[in-house]
A and B are shown apart, each in its own frame.
Chain A
Amino acid sequence: MHAGERTSNRMKDSPGLHLKTYFFLLFIALFAPLGNVLLSKGMRGVGSAKDWEPRGLLHVLTGILASGYIWLGVACLLAFFVAYMLILTWADYSYVQPASAFSYAIVAILGLLLLGEKVNALRWSGIAVICVGVLIVSDTHPRTTEKP
C-alpha cells in the first residue's frame, strides 16, 4: 500500500522528509502532554477562587503569573503549536492528526515514571491499540497532495 501510494502520487519528496516528519511527530507527542501536565501541576499549587470574588480572582491571577510551572507549561504548549504548524506545511492533516495520538502513550509513561500514577490494564490496552493505529497511519506516505 505504501509503495503504491508513492508511485501513484508521483511527487518529489524533499530530502529527509520522513526523518523530519517522525522527529516533529515525536516533538508534538512529547510537548503537548508535558505542557498540560505542567499547567495542571501549576494550577493545583495556585488553588481555586472562592465564590469568584474580585479579591479571590486577583489572588489566583497573581499566583498564576508567579508560578514557574505555569510559565513552563505555556512555553511547552507554544513549542507544541509551532511544531504542529511547521509539520502541517509539508505533511497531510489526515496523517498528522491520528499519528499525534501517540501522546496518549507518552502521558501514561510520564505519569508512571514521574508522578508514580497507576495505569490500569484497560488503559494499557487502549494505549496499545492507539500505538497500533499510529503505526498503521505512519506506514502511509506523509503527503498525498501536490506542493503549492
Chain B
Amino acid sequence: MLELILLFVVISAGTGGELCVSRAMKALGEVHDFRPAALVQFAWRAARVGWMWVGIGLMTLAFFSLLAMLSMENVSFVVPVTALSYAAGAIGAALFLREKISRQRWLGVLVVCLGVTLVWLSRR
C-alpha cells in the first residue's frame, strides 16, 4: 500500500512540479536573448514567479519519494512504472496548461512510454 502511495506521489508531484515550472516559464514569455547577462536577468525574473517555487517544491518531494521507493522496490520495477509520468504529463499539460494535444502527439507519448519501459526492463 505504501509503495502505491509513494508511486502516486512520485508521478503526480514530479509531473506537477514540471507543469508548474512550465507555467512559470510561459508567464515570463519567449526568450530571444541568450547572452549571459540576459540569462542572469531571466533567472532573476523566474525566481520572482510563485509557480516556479511551487514547482521546485513538488519536484523535491518527488525526488525524496523516489528515493524512499527505491529503498523498498527494485529499480527494475520502479523506473518502468515511472514511465507513466509521460502520459500524466500529457494529461496535465492539456488540463493545467491548456495545450492542444493532437492524436499524433498522444501516439508519440505512448510510444515513448513503451520504449522507456523496454529500456528499463533491460537492466538486469
CB of B117 within 8 A of CB of A98, answer no
* B99-115 near A? 1/0 per residue, CB < 8 Å: 11111110111111111
Contact of B102 among A1, A98, A135, A138 (CB under 8 A): A1
Q: How far is the CB of A40 from chain B (nearest CB, A)?
A: 14
CB of B29 within 8 A of CB of A89, answer yes
CB of A147 within 8 A of CB of B104, answer no
A71: interface (CB < 8 Å): no
Residues of chain A lying within 8 A (CB to CB) of residue B30:
14, 89-90, 147
A138 and B111 alpha carbons, distance in the complex (Å): 13
A66: interface (CB < 8 Å): no
CB of B97 within 8 A of CB of A92, answer yes
List residues of B (54-113) whose CB comes within 8 Å of A's CBs: 86, 89-90, 92-94, 97-105, 107-113
A144 and B26 alpha carbons, distance in the complex (Å): 12
CB of A101 within 8 A of CB of B116, answer yes
Q: Size range of the interface on A?
A: 35 or more
- Contacts A88-B22, A89-B26, A89-B28 given; indicate if A129 touches B102 (C-beta within 8 A): no
CB of B93 within 8 A of CB of A136, answer no
Residue of A nearest to B52 (CB): A85
Known A-B contacts: A92-B93, A97-B90. Give 11 more (CB < 8 A): A9-B100, A85-B46, A86-B39, A89-B25, A89-B31, A93-B92, A94-B109, A98-B90, A126-B117, A137-B112, A144-B99
Residue with the highest number of chain A CB atoms closer than 10 Å, among B97, B103, B109, B111: B111
